Structure 1
Amino acid sequence: MELCAGGELFDRIIAKGHYSERAAAGVCRQMVTVVHNCHSMGVMHRDLKPENFLFLSSDESSPLKATDFGLSVFFKPGDVFKDLVGSAYYVAPEVLRREYGPEADIWSAGVILYILLSGVPPFYGENDQSIFDAVLRGHLDFSSDPWPSVSSSAKDLVKKMLRSDPRERISAAEVLNHPWMREDGDASDKPLDIAVLSRMKQFRAMNKLKKVALKVIAENLSEEEIIGLKEMFKSIDTDDSGTITFEELKAGLTKMGTKLSESEVRQLMEAADVDGNGTIDYLEFITATMHLNRMEREDHLYKAFEYFDKDKSGYITMEELEHALKEYNITDEKTIKEIIAEVDTDNDGRINYDEFAAMMRKGNPDFVNNRRRR
């Protein structure tokens, strides 16, 4: 397995500063080449999102690599898949309808391209369900900034990748052959609107605060609330190692009568394994199970808010956020400013409880917790 030391897709774009349609086309070309190669070998990725594309090294010319094939499956022409997998912002409408094939990967790549060109996802909502509703409606906004200044060729490709009917959607080979996408194509090198980068920063930042807040909630659950989860952890951790492996999780959930497919268990495992070491420790388990059991109740949200609001003023200030996030190794002042900018909807430079609660309820990147029970 290759070590991808060059960082995530959005981080590289944001750090670079200068950003143009040609740069977006170059990134998208590498992504869709990966998809094309997978589809040629009869493999569907099923979880394409920016976090799953890493640069091999920090070199300017470093190739982009797809990672996390945990949800991928082999397919033959005509195969239809029904399990609900993926991540809310990037999921194709036919996946939500539980009847899909490899065209779903093109949709996800199209969503990433939309974000690369505008800084925001095409389908947005206050929670997962409203994101799904927007995906099913399929309305694309090309009238808000910066779209009027984006070339018609780029918009044409986005529309073709985000056709709601998978039968009408462009294939990976056709994407690579599109005039805007080709290396000698018509994508302009003129810098895109600076707002694209700042929106991309905000989109990335919001999920960082949410992860920390969920950990805070998990750490502050009462002994009574945690007792059942403690027992559950012990019963799943059959070798008493203090961590849960994928096999232990799968066996434990089956024993409890939870009817999840292997891919759903894997998705749960990956969502819970915050430090990415391949196992789930006790705190990670509590955090994930709390989320699974809908334990982000009002009182839990308020407890998490109070954790950040050290002086009990009813507001989280820049300094308080900085202090709290330091404990979780988020020390970059820029990121902290981005979090405030995204969550602070009344623009007073601080976060009140309503703004905090709205952020926590906003569409989660991963919706393993919202899957429908079979």
Structure 2
Amino acid sequence: MGCFSSKHRKTQNDGGGERSIPIIPVQTHIVDQVPDHRKPQIPSPSIPISVRDPETILGKPFEDIRKFYSLGRELGRGGLGITYMCKEIGTGNIYACKSILKRKLISELGREDVKTEIQIMQHLSGQPNVVEIKGSYEDRHSVHLVMELCAGGELFDRIIAQGHYSERAAAGTIKSIVDVVQICHLNGVIHRDLKPENFLFSSKEENAMLKVTDFGLSAFIEEGKIYKDVVGSPYYVAPEVLRQSYGKEIDIWSAGVILYILLCGVPPFWADNEEGVFVEILKCKIDFVREPWPSISDSAKDLVEKMLTEDPKRRITAAQVLEHPWIKGGEAPEKPIDSTVLSRMKQFRAMNKLKKLALKVSAVSLSEEEIKGLKTLFANMDTNRSGTITYEQLQTGLSRLRSRLSETEVQQLVEASDVDGNGTIDYYEFISATMHRYKLHHDEHVHKAFQHLDKDKNGHITRDELESAMKEYGMGDEASIKEVISEVDTDNALSPVEIMREVALEIGVPVNTFKQNNVQEDGLYLPVLNNAA
């Protein structure tokens, strides 16, 4: 499950976007409470958008970024583009360059989002826990954001690599995260997509600073405005976002979810699919009973509960979090957290990376009769019979067919479709991105998908078989593929429960089809996670 907004962006190390969610029509009214004297003036673009060149986004002349930077190896791919390592030609300094393909910005809203992202990064420039923007460039095909390179990796990567940590260490991590939230709020910004992947360490040094990145979903706080855009990432989204009426308090909720995961290894709200996760979030029942919670300090549980308070008016503020005894008063013990928490955290992170592959393999298993309508739809859009469609062809085709998809849903489809990130959508990418919309979720498809991967038919998928499949479907280079596999598999034998549950959760198949005698279902926790418990 990834971001579910039309404004979806990715971090330096992120993988890909996902699908839309149902809107739950429950209304509340949340108004920003920041006092006037602490509300900064929202900056305006330094150069107005040119009316003479309809292709420009940043409102300034096109520039060839290669005159200033040499682009190096790829750092990651997202729904809208690719992030590279780059070297400044004049100084030799190393940065990260996020290149956003303009043809994927299919609406004026998408173009405005890119401008807002740049404005916010410039507005927060100089803040210690925020990734620094170096500059922005635009050519006929892309918008390029050059920013500080955080070479220390993602938050969970470092925790897992260390192999152990304590409540005291978790308290230090949350302090850094909430420091960022406070900085954003005091500077008139809601981040709106706080999650572990968006926190990077500045370097590999032990004392490296933790920094927030990816302001693609962020917004400026406007006095009295009630925000309604459904944005964020499923596990971390606040209930008032689902109700389409929220303010800056949502960032504290997301930080509270991260704290919960730090302490027990899995999210507080879990279900068999995204829609189920949202239902659990709206119920807002937090589990402090299962392991390891009995051994977690009461002070830590108190803070989690206050950060995950359903009513945003009663939810603890960033300033109050930083004054909480578990953070400030030294109540977080040095006692190591149980190692099973790290195992759960590692598997929770890694299994998400297989979902794109799972969807695409599942699309292969559909019969011609089942996908006849989708096949015709694709053929009508593929006007030059190339076997692929561009984003322009997708947009034109949906418009011509009088599709009922909203602009937001079309953008989500665009971002979710291009699995291999090559700038076009092939037949199976199109099928995998649309199959859930047309209810093509039968358990036999999941079994067929597993059989497709299990080349030697021994009931398990080996590393070699998974690596071969990921290469077959263009799921990254050899190094990145090996990294995903090593995180998911520890015994060179992925069982149907381990990999096909991910297929089931992604396309909406009941998961009880995949129980095995040696795997015990345990409430909200994933069976694969229970194996480590």
TM-score (norm 2): 0.57
Distance, in Å, in 2 between the alignment partners of 1:233 and 1:275 is: 20
**For residues 334-354 of structure 1, what are the alpha-carbon distances to aligned partners after superposition, in whole Å with 9 as ceiling and x for unaligned?**
4233699xxxxxxxx7623x7
What's 1:6 paired with? 152
**Correspondent of 2:482 among 328, 331, 344:** 331
**Correspondent of 1:359 among 493, 502, 511:** 502
Distance, in Å, in 2 between the alignment partners of 1:339 and 1:231 is: 43
**Correspondent of 1:316 among 453, 456, 460:** 460
Distance, in Å, in 2 between the alignment partners of 1:243 and 1:232 is: 10
Provide closer, same or farther for how the CA distance between residues 270 and 171 of structure 1 changes in structure 2, counting only shifts above 3 A: farther
Provide closer, same or farther for how the CA distance between residues 106 and 244 of structure 1 changes in structure 2, counting only shifts above 3 A: farther
Q: Is the 8 A contact 1:106 1:171 kept in 2?
A: yes
Query: Structure 2: 5+ residue runs without aligned partners?
Result: 1-145, 508-533
1:116 Cα deviation after fit:
0.6
Distance, in Å, in 2 between the alignment partners of 1:259 and 1:159 is: 38
2:339 counterpart of 1:187: no
Q: Secondary structure at the match of 1:112?
A: helix
Paired residue type of 2:487: T
1:4 Cα deviation after fit:
2.7
**Correspondent of 2:174 among 9, 12, 28:** 28
Distance, in Å, in 1 between the alignment partners of 2:174 and 2:490 is: 25
**For residues 171-207 of structure 1, what are the alpha-carbon distances to aligned partners after superposition, in whole Å with 9 as ceiling and x for unaligned?**
112112222223x733223211111101101211221
Paired residue type of 1:361: A
Percent identity over paired residues: 52
Provide closer, same or farther for how the CA distance between residues 116 and 122 of structure 1 changes in structure 2, counting only shifts above 3 A: same
Distance, in Å, in 2 between the alignment partners of 1:232 and 1:53 is: 42
Paired residue type of 2:448: K
Distance, in Å, in 2 between the alignment partners of 1:29 and 1:107 is: 14
Provide closer, same or farther for how the CA distance between residues 173 and 338 of structure 1 changes in structure 2, counting only shifts above 3 A: farther
Provide closer, same or farther for how the CA distance between residues 4 and 179 of structure 1 changes in structure 2, counting only shifts above 3 A: same
Q: Is the 8 A contact 2:164 2:342 kept in 1?
A: no
Paired residue type of 2:495: I
What's 2:59 paired with? none
**Correspondent of 2:451 among 298, 301, 306:** 306
Within a 5 Å distance, the mapping from 1:266-285 to structure 2 comes to 269-272=414-417, 274=419, 279=423, 281-282=425-426
Provide closer, same or farther for how the CA distance between residues 161 and 303 of structure 1 changes in structure 2, counting only shifts above 3 A: same
1:132 Cα deviation after fit:
1.7
Distance, in Å, in 2 between the alignment partners of 1:254 and 1:188 is: 59
What's 2:262 paired with? 116
Distance, in Å, in 1 between the alignment partners of 2:260 and 2:405 is: 35
**For residues 100-131 of structure 1, what are the alpha-carbon distances to aligned partners after superposition, in whole Å with 9 as ceiling and x for unaligned?**
11111111110011001110111111122222
What's 1:160 paired with? 306
Q: Secondary structure at the match of 1:362?
A: helix
Q: Is the 8 A contact 2:192 2:250 kept in 1?
A: yes
Distance, in Å, in 2 between the alignment partners of 1:209 and 1:65 is: 27
**Correspondent of 1:209 among 354, 357, 360:** 354
**Correspondent of 2:280 among 108, 129, 134:** 134
**For residues 135-192 of structure 1, what are the alpha-carbon distances to aligned partners after superposition, in whole Å with 9 as ceiling and x for unaligned?**
111111112111122122211111110001111101112112222223x733223211
What's 1:367 paired with? none
Distance, in Å, in 2 between the alignment partners of 1:204 and 1:48 is: 15
Q: Secondary structure at the match of 1:167?
A: coil
Provide closer, same or farther for how the CA distance between residues 276 and 118 of structure 1 changes in structure 2, counting only shifts above 3 A: farther
Paired residue type of 2:286: L
1:81 Cα deviation after fit:
1.8
1:78 Cα deviation after fit:
3.4
The structure whose residues are more often helix, as a share, is 1
Q: Which structure has more RCO (C-alpha within 8 Å, separation ≥ 6)? A: 1
Within a 5 Å distance, the mapping from 1:93-108 to structure 2 comes to 93-108=239-254
Paired residue type of 1:30: S
What's 2:221 paired with? 75
Provide closer, same or farther for how the CA distance between residues 53 and 272 of structure 1 changes in structure 2, counting only shifts above 3 A: farther
What's 1:345 paired with? none
Paired residue type of 1:359: E
| Equivalent pairs, count | 346
Q: Is the 8 A contact 1:270 1:276 kept in 2?
A: no
Paired residue type of 1:7: G
Q: Is the 8 A contact 2:230 2:241 kept in 1?
A: yes
**For residues 12-45 of structure 1, what are the alpha-carbon distances to aligned partners after superposition, in whole Å with 9 as ceiling and x for unaligned?**
1111112111221222122222222222222222
Distance, in Å, in 1 between the alignment partners of 2:469 and 2:160 is: 21
Paired residue type of 2:314: E
2:375 counterpart of 1:227: yes
TM-score (norm 1): 0.78
Provide closer, same or farther for how the CA distance between residues 98 and 288 of structure 1 changes in structure 2, counting only shifts above 3 A: same
Q: Is the 8 A contact 1:325 1:331 kept in 2?
A: no
What's 1:370 paired with? none
Higher Cα Rg: structure 1 or 2? 2
Provide closer, same or farther for how the CA distance between residues 151 and 363 of structure 1 changes in structure 2, counting only shifts above 3 A: farther
